[in-house]
């Protein structure tokens, strides 16, 4: 039984991944800003209740991240796997028309938030001599830049660079570092990107079958379950109808 911390488990990939780890009899620490969603997760997994710890915090607020993580009960501090999944996009806009608040939210969440959580958890692993595993959720947007995706793509390129840097730095501590880089998946991602415009968000996935959160969860389980001597360093996961960030075969 491993202890797995999943950021952004209140929705989408994070929820599905936490659920999959629980069903494989691991202990999960689920996080997110929406307390009611954390409660709903526990409610939906009632029979596994003793294997769930929920922490409500905003990854952008460093003091909050440190306070919440350093104060978890001692028996939960032996974290084996960290899944850095919390993230978002805001807006789809030419660079000259971008909103500062959107840029700041993406940079603060996807880059700085990931760093804040990682630093604490990595140190907890090192202090306890745990042969841990960090799995970052990147994106195809970390491989290519698409029109109007400027800052979101930049944050996911940063996640790619941080993943590579972590792999170098943590080698000495026997901590594996991997990334899963999905293409288009239908979650709350586009609703958040378009600030709650559900109709616009739906259109993103019209005419083809996007990835489902469970597809990503399955890959994360595969990465986590690899034998000790194997690091599945990177998975690029696309819907069959997607060739790259801008080329999608849609039924007309």
User: Which one of residues 3, 20, 54, 109 is an interface residue with ligand NDP (CB under 6 A)?
Assistant: 109
Site string for ligand 8X3, 153-192 (x = CB under 6 A): -------------------------------x--------
Q: How far is the CB of 88 from ligand 8X3 (least distance, A)?
A: 10
Residues in the interface with ligand 8X3 (CB under 6 A) total 6
User: Which one of residues 87, 132, 149, 239 is an interface residue with ligand NDP (CB under 6 A)?
Assistant: 87
Is residue 70 annotated as a catalytic residue, yes or no?
no
User: Which one of residues 3, 140, 187, 234 is an interface residue with ligand 8X3 (CB under 6 A)?
Assistant: 140
**DSSP string over the chain:** --EEEESSTTSHHHHHHHHHHHHTT-EEEEEES-HHHHHHHHHHTGGGGGGEEEEE--TT-HHHHHHHHHTS-GGG----EEEE----------GGG--HHHHHHHIIIIIIIHHHHHHHHHHHHHHTT---EEEEE--GGGT---TT-HHHHHHHHHHHHHHHHHHHHHGGGT-EEEEEEE--B-SSHHHHHTTT-HHHHHHTTTTS--B-HHHHHHHHHHHHTS-TT----EEEE--TTEEETTEE----
User: Which one of residues 3, 5, 6, 8 is an interface residue with ligand NDP (CB under 6 A)?
Assistant: 8
In the complex with ligand 8X3, the residue whose CB is nearer, 132 or 239, is 239
User: Which one of residues 118, 139, 155, 178 is an interface residue with ligand 8X3 (CB under 6 A)?
Assistant: 139
**Taking CB under 6 A as the rule, does residue 92 contact ligand NDP?**
no
Q: Which of 100, 146, 152, 205 is catalytic?
A: 152
In the complex with ligand 8X3, the residue whose CB is nearer, 3 or 140, is 140
**Nearest Cα to Cα of residue 159 among 58, 9, 59:** 59
**Taking CB under 6 A as the rule, does residue 32 contact ligand NDP?**
yes
In the complex with ligand NDP, the residue whose CB is nearer, 19 or 139, is 139
**Taking CB under 6 A as the rule, does residue 12 contact ligand NDP?**
yes
Catalytic center residues: 152
């Amino acid at each position: 039984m491993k202890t797995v911390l999943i950021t952004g488990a209140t929705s989408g990939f994070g929820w599905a991944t936490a659920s999959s780890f629980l069903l494989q009899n691991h202990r999960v620490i689920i996080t997110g800003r929406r307390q009611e969603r954390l409660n709903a997760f526990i409610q939906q997994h009632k029979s596994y209740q003793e294997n769930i710890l929920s922490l409500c915090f905003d990854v952008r607020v460093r003091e909050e991240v440190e306070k919440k993580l350093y104060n978890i009960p001692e028996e939960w501090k032996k974290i084996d796997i960290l899944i850095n999944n919390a993230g978002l996009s805001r807006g789809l806009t030419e660079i000259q028309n971008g909103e500062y608040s959107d840029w700041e939210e993406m940079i603060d969440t996807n880059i700085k938030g990931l760093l804040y959580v990682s630093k604490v958890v990595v140190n907890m692993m090192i202090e306890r001599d745990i042969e841990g595993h960090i799995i970052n959720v990147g994106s195809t947007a970390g491989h290519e830049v698409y029109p109007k995706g400027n800052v979101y793509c930049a944050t996911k390129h940063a996640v790619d660079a941080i993943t590579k840097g972590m792999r170098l730095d943590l080698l000495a501590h026997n901590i594996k570092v991997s990334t899963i880089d999905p293409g288009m998946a239908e979650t709350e991602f586009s609703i958040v990107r378009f600030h709650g415009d559900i109709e616009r968000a739906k259109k993103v996935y019209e005419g083809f079958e996007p990835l489902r959160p469970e597809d990503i969860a399955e890959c994360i389980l595969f990465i986590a379950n690899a034998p000790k001597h194997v690091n599945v360093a990177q998975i690029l996961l696309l819907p069959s109808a997607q060739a790259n960030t801008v080329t999608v075969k849609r039924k007309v």
